[in-house]
């Protein structure tokens, strides 16, 4: 029996039910803005068979249900999201939309993936230098040699959290 899956490139708000077969390419915790000991959501980058990517968010109410079971570089069938325009969100993918998990969202691990995992999209340093303007929220993959570093500097985040910043000097391997 053939299964029908939607493509990420077709996602929009005109349809209410989406069925995706995707790899989780990236996963990270989005920290709470004022309480640094807890986090608000788990953010995911999903990639389908065509290589299209979209950001998905598992909000705090759904963390206990989905938060611990979803792993990077694993394929899942995911259903029933809330599709939102991510105008105000950092642009981690080129997709206009983002998916929010809801009460109806289901996630099922695929034990025999139907297409190969291709998690990286490498970008040369020369490409980064020539991009104007560089979108600092876009996730990129670079292979380079670290040839120098600055001393760590104390900084304060926009939420007034003290942290450190260290700049690395990298050199292209090409």
Tokens 């260290």 -> residue: 166
Report pTM: 0.81
Query: CB 97: neighbour CB atoms within 10 A?
Result: 17
Closest CA relative to residue 120, chosen from 141, 137, 139: 141
25: its two tokens: 């390419």
Give SS3 for 67. Answer: helix
Backbone angles phi, psi at 128, to 5 degrees: -65, -40
Query: CB 49: neighbour CB atoms within 10 A?
Result: 17
Residues forming a β-bridge with 41: 30, 59
Query: What's the pLDDT at 100?
Result: 92
**How far, rounded to the nearest angstrom, does the alpha carbon of residue 168 sit from its chain's CA centroid?**
23
CA distance 25 to 23: 6
CA distance 55 to 145: 29
pLDDT tens track of the chain, all 174 residues?
457 899 999 998 888 789 999 999 999 988 777 776 788 889 999 999 999 999 999 998 898 888 778 999 999 999 999 999 877 666 677 788 999 999 999 999 999 998 999 998 888 888 777 777 766 667 778 888 889 999 999 988 777 778 888 988 888 877
């Amino acid at each position: 029996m053939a299964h029908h899956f939607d493509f990420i490139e077709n996602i929009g708000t005109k349809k209410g039910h989406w069925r995706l077969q995707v790899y989780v390419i990236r996963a990270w915790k989005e920290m709470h803005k004022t309480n640094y000991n807890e986090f608000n959501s788990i953010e995911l980058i999903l990639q389908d068979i065509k290589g299209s990517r979209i950001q998905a968010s598992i909000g705090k109410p759904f963390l206990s249900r989905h938060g611990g079971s979803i792993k990077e570089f694993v394929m899942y069938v995911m259903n029933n999201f809330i599709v939102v325009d991510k105008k105000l969100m950092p642009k981690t993918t080129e997709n206009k939309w983002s998916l929010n998990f809801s009460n109806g969202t289901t996630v099922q691990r695929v034990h025999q993936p139907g297409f190969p995992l291709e998690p990286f999209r490498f970008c040369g340093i020369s490409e980064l230098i020539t991009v104007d303007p560089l979108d600092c929220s876009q996730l990129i993959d670079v292979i380079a040699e670290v040839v120098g570093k600055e001393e760590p500097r104390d900084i304060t985040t926009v939420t007034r959290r003290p942290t450190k910043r260290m700049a690395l000097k990298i050199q292209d391997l090409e």
